[in-house]
Structure 1
Amino acid sequence: MAEDIQLDRDGHVCIITINRPHVMNSLDFSANEKLVEAWQTFSSDPELRVALITGSGGKAFCAGADLKTYTMSFATTPAPEFQRKYTNGPGLGGITRNLHVFKPILAAIDGYAISGGFEIALACDIRFCSDRAKFGLQDVKWGFHACDGGLIRLREIVGRGNAMEMILSGDLIDADHALRIGLVNRICRKQDLFDESLTYAHHLATRAPLAQQLAKEVMVRAEGLSLDEALRLESTSFHGLGKTRDLEEGTTAFREKRDAKFVGE
């Protein structure tokens, strides 16, 4: 029997597949825990530099939490336990809250990315989608609102007006709309989506991993800081790369007019 969450290695790329197509790749508690574990494996393995997350089956990237087995149990958890387990623990899918992964994460989105599944996509750094992808936070149709970063990240990515339209209506948008408002980076033909995404993930994996990770961490931690504080953080982070082997290799490769071979040290 296939695993609900599959983790495969392709060189320096970690491929994470949500494999529950019979329920539009929605997550029950068990699958959610396995997805958290997959991110932890990726984050802790120095040989894995870039993650690519996708969904199986062709109908959905991820439809969020399984309404039949997850949502009501989650929403009605007593307050102290909810605070400990959910507010202070990893969000849906792990990366949406309290699980910091500073390596690059690319999402390959085919079909529906809705509610919590959309929030997982928002927590990724780069989003490629197929020409048949659909996006939405439909929670207001069911009596609640997003709670795993949707109300926060969507506004940062597409702006307040576009975010309000999606959040308050619960309506879906298509791939062209998503590209127009900056929600996705690229639209691919359905049959080309995975290959193009994997090729780009390998492209990212050729860059200096320490520089990528520190740059991403600065961008994440700078949110909410004053301009002066953010600029100081950026400068301090840059100096942290000064004595790395990767910086020496990168500058040497530039002088020798060749591609750098980074080792992550």
Structure 2
Amino acid sequence: MTDILTETRGPVTLITIDRADTMNSLDFAANDALVEAWRRFDADPEARVAVITGAGDKAFCAGADLKTYTIDFANRPAPEFRQRYTDGPGFGGITRNMEIGKPIVAAINGFAISGGFELALACDIRFCSPNAEFALQDVKWGFHACDGGLIRLPQIVGLGHAMEIVLSGERIDAEHAFRIGLVNRIHPADQLLGKAMDYAAMLASRAPLPQRFAKDVMRRSVGMTLEEALRLESRSFYDLGGTQDIREGTTAFREKRAARFRGD
């Protein structure tokens, strides 16, 4: 039985970390299974949006399963570890070295701690339940985040809020997370997944190529000068000019009907 469940609901792929007994923490096997789930989603032309969540109502993902990680880390030769987990995909797959252009929504049902927090940060949109808590606790144990937390968190919430979270290692609750822009919306726990899936279905009805192009521009423009970033945005818009998506969208607008996008 796999620890990573995938379900297809039309154009939306639901990915569930099914390790509630370990607060949905990931051991090496579960991490590898999640990487493969992302690869299948990315390669499937019919899959337009993904939603990721954790089983149960206590945790989205509590990071690495340190009991098994400690054993596996010690038994793996350094070159193998580096090839698979440093040069390869990061924790949970999408945190490092795995660029997916399709929208990804996180439904955060409880704790998102350390690597689990970094996994949520690597998603494009984050919904959470009122009992959600977030933390990068690494400084309590003598290290710091290494799967995108130090990079993505300041981009999402600003440097001051990121410094507070990273340097203290303290948890913040759902209301705090919403206030600083870490999560987009808070939904009651029994409605969270349904709301996330409905939102994903709405995203899947939009034009997929402009979504991918826009996501690429927003990612790549970080660190650019304003002039460089505006040029990148303009070039991306120009490249959309010859696509079926823009022809269908403008035609649907003129004909006052819903657009039927094909993603080409």
TM above 0.5, yes or no, is: yes
Q: Any unmatched runs of 5+ in structure 1? A: none
State the one-letter code of the partner of 2:232: L
Q: Shift of residue 58 of structure 1?
A: 1.1
SS of corresponding position for 1:246: helix
Verify: 1:254 aligned to 2:253, yes or no. yes
SS of corresponding position for 2:190: helix
From the superposition, tell whether residues 176 and 76 of structure 1 become closer, same or farther in structure 2 (CA, over 3 Å).
Answer: farther
Q: Shift of residue 72 of structure 1?
A: 6.5
Q: Shift of residue 89 of structure 1?
A: 1.0
Equivalence for 1:46: 45
The separation in 1 between residues aligned to 2:13 and 2:221, in whole angstroms, is 27
SS of corresponding position for 1:239: helix
- Given that residues 65 and 71 in structure 1 are in contact (C-alpha distance below 8 angstroms), is that contact kept between their aligned partners in structure 2? no
Q: Shift of residue 71 of structure 1?
A: 4.8
Equivalence for 1:204: 203
The separation in 2 between residues aligned to 1:160 and 1:75, in whole angstroms, is 35
1:116-195 alignment, distance < 5 Å: 116-195=115-194
- Given that residues 26 and 62 in structure 1 are in contact (C-alpha distance below 8 angstroms), is that contact kept between their aligned partners in structure 2? yes
Verify: 1:86 aligned to 2:90, yes or no. no
Q: Shift of residue 225 of structure 1?
A: 2.1
Q: Shift of residue 111 of structure 1?
A: 0.7
Q: Shift of residue 76 of structure 1?
A: 9.0
1:21-32 alignment, distance < 5 Å: 21-32=20-31
SS of corresponding position for 1:190: coil
From the superposition, tell whether residues 45 and 253 of structure 1 become closer, same or farther in structure 2 (CA, over 3 Å).
Answer: same
The separation in 2 between residues aligned to 1:114 and 1:76, in whole angstroms, is 25
The separation in 1 between residues aligned to 2:191 and 2:222, in whole angstroms, is 35
Q: Shift of residue 141 of structure 1?
A: 1.6
SS of corresponding position for 1:214: helix
Deviations 1:109-140 (A, max 9, x none): 01100000000000000000001111111111
The separation in 2 between residues aligned to 1:236 and 1:180, in whole angstroms, is 34
The separation in 1 between residues aligned to 2:59 and 2:136, in whole angstroms, is 14
The separation in 2 between residues aligned to 1:71 and 1:161, in whole angstroms, is 33
State the one-letter code of the partner of 2:174: A
Deviations 1:79-116 (A, max 9, x none): 55444332211100000000000100000001100000
Select between 158-167 and 200-209 the one with higher mean Cα deviation: 158-167
Equivalence for 2:95: 96
The separation in 1 between residues aligned to 2:135 and 2:113, in whole angstroms, is 5
Q: Any unmatched runs of 5+ in structure 2? A: none
Deviations 1:146-180 (A, max 9, x none): 10001111111111111111111111111000000
The separation in 2 between residues aligned to 1:74 and 1:239, in whole angstroms, is 47
- Given that residues 25 and 62 in structure 1 are in contact (C-alpha distance below 8 angstroms), is that contact kept between their aligned partners in structure 2? yes
- Given that residues 138 and 167 in structure 1 are in contact (C-alpha distance below 8 angstroms), is that contact kept between their aligned partners in structure 2? yes
The separation in 2 between residues aligned to 1:177 and 1:155, in whole angstroms, is 15
Select between 37-46 and 216-225 the one with higher mean Cα deviation: 216-225
Q: Shift of residue 226 of structure 1?
A: 2.2
The separation in 2 between residues aligned to 1:27 and 1:158, in whole angstroms, is 26
- Given that residues 253 and 260 in structure 1 are in contact (C-alpha distance below 8 angstroms), is that contact kept between their aligned partners in structure 2? yes
Equivalent residues, number: 264
From the superposition, tell whether residues 177 and 71 of structure 1 become closer, same or farther in structure 2 (CA, over 3 Å).
Answer: farther
State the one-letter code of the partner of 2:258: D
- Given that residues 128 and 187 in structure 1 are in contact (C-alpha distance below 8 angstroms), is that contact kept between their aligned partners in structure 2? yes
Deviations 1:47-79 (A, max 9, x none): 000000000011100001111011564489665
The separation in 1 between residues aligned to 2:165 and 2:70, in whole angstroms, is 21
From the superposition, tell whether residues 57 and 204 of structure 1 become closer, same or farther in structure 2 (CA, over 3 Å).
Answer: same
State the one-letter code of the partner of 1:178: A
Equivalence for 1:64: 63
The separation in 1 between residues aligned to 2:135 and 2:77, in whole angstroms, is 28
